Every structure is written in structure tokens, then in C-alpha cells.
Structure 1
Amino acid sequence: MIRAVLTRPLFADLGLLVLRVLTGALLIHHGYEKLANIENFADAFVRPLHLPFPIVLSYVAAFSEVIGSWLLITGLLTRVGAAAIAGTITVAIYHAIVTAGFNIYLLELLGLYLGAAGTVLACGPGLFAIDELIARLVEPNIEIDASSETFDEPAVVLSEAAATR
């Protein structure tokens, strides 16, 4: 019984929704904090890495977190938002390792953010996303197969015309 509940596509899509919304909601404030004092962020995090254009890269990091988080939360251009977050978090992990070594207390949160962004990149936003709504409006022949019991069976049945593209 438990396996049947956990492997139904609906619950996977609900899990992706929760992952997207929580990740975006918890990460977004980091971007706003960077924007509040961009010079301080550049001095503390970008300049120690000797990266060029520290102020510009600080704005890139801040907007990647803010815009990427909103894209995750809404499910619009979800993979673009997840990629922006993954890129920023990858640099943050590099910074943490260079400045503090393999300090688990610094790396654990960054690892969770990277894992969440990577999951959304790999799996997509799920059914409960604006991306999915747009896809259904563009291709109205997409149907959900409610009888699918596991991820091994296709959860989406496409029309023959859509499948041949």
C-alpha cells in the first residue's frame, strides 16, 4: 500500500511543488540581502576569489537568487531558474571550500540548495507549474494517465502527431 501511494505520479508532482516552493522561499532572502549591501557582499565573497568585475558578479549572484527563486516558486521557466540557482550555489560552495575548507556547517545548506536545484533541473517542475499549463495550452492533446502506478510506466500519453515530432 505504501509503495503504491509513494510511486503515484500525482504525489511525485506534489513533492516537486513542495521542493520548488520551499527552496525558492528559503533562498530568496539571500538575494535580497546581497542587493541591500552589494559592496559588502563583493568585498566579503567575490573579491577573495579574485574574480573579475566583483560588483557586476555580485549583482549577477543576487539577481540569480531573487529571480531564480521566483521562477522556482511560480514554475515559470523553472529550469532556467534552477540553472541560475545551481550556478550561483556552485560558486558559493567553491568560496566556502577555498576560505574555510571542508566545513560541514558551511557546506550543508549550500549542498541542500544545490541538490534541490539539481533535482528540478533533472526532473522538471512537475504538473503544478506555469510551464506545464503553457505546455498544455500549446499542445492540447497531452493527457494525464491516471492509471499509472509507478514511474516505470508513462505518466503522460501523447497523441500520435505529437509523438512523431
Structure 2
Amino acid sequence: MQRLDIILLWFSAIGCGLLAGLYFAFSAFIMTAFGRIDRAHGIAAMNSINSTIVRSLFMPLFLGTTLSCAALAILAMFRWGEPGAAITLAGGLIYVVGMFGCTMVFNVPLNNELARAGAADAGAVWARYLKRWTFWNHVRTLASTAAMALFVAALAI
């Protein structure tokens, strides 16, 4: 493997691992805890997280890992005959589609809907949000974890 590949693999593996851990925390206990508290407080907490996270160190990691994984997938196609290319391509595609795509198509629109919910429809929106957002967060958790494992496997070759 070339030096750029190794740097991208390490960055991607670490980034995927960090994001998998964050998503796991939301899936394992944060969303359950929000569902157990008063609806207005749960909505306020989630809206606060959603507005804070886009102005935090999360965004460079989120976007940088996505770009790195996409670059690895593209490089793997050009190095198809080399050892580790197939698992690198798989890791990149799983992450970009399963984490980034899922976030943009499902989680972000649900976040936007929650932010726009008025008092009259907050109960229905919150109940739907908890179920759907958490389901898609499980997908992001699994995709990030699988991509990390595949990148570590590629590094081991």
C-alpha cells in the first residue's frame, strides 16, 4: 500500500470508531433517557444537541471521515488487484451510504421536523421522532462500526 492509503485508512478507522461510539451512546441509552422524561424537556434537549453539534468539533470529524472514506473507495477501485482493495472499497461504501447517506436522508430531516414542531403537534412528532430517529441511528452505528472493522482489516494486510 502507498503512504496516502495508509494515512487515509488510519484516519478513517479512527473517525469511524469515534462516530460509532457517539451513535452507540445515542442508541444504547441517550434516546431511551430522553423518551422517559417530560416530552417538552426531551424535545428541548434534542433540539439543543442538534443546534450545538453543527458548531462543534463533531462536524470536521463527520465531514472529514466521510471524505476520507469516499476517497478510499475511489482509490480501491483504481487498485482493484491489490491486497485489501475489496475490503477497503466495502468499508468506504458502507460508511458513505450507511452513515452519511442515512444521516442526510433520514436523521437530518427528522431533526428539522422536530425543530419546526409546534406545541399542538409536538406529542405526535416526538413519538414518531424517537422511534424513527433511533432506528436510523442504529443503522449509522452499525455502518460506522462495520466500516471501522473493514479498515482495520485492510491495515492488517
How high is the TM-score relative to the length of structure 2? 0.37
Higher relative contact order (CA 8 A, sep 6+): 2
What TM-score, normalized to structure 1? Answer: 0.36
**Larger of the two Rg values belongs to structure:** 1
Compare the two structures and name the one with the higher helix fraction: 2
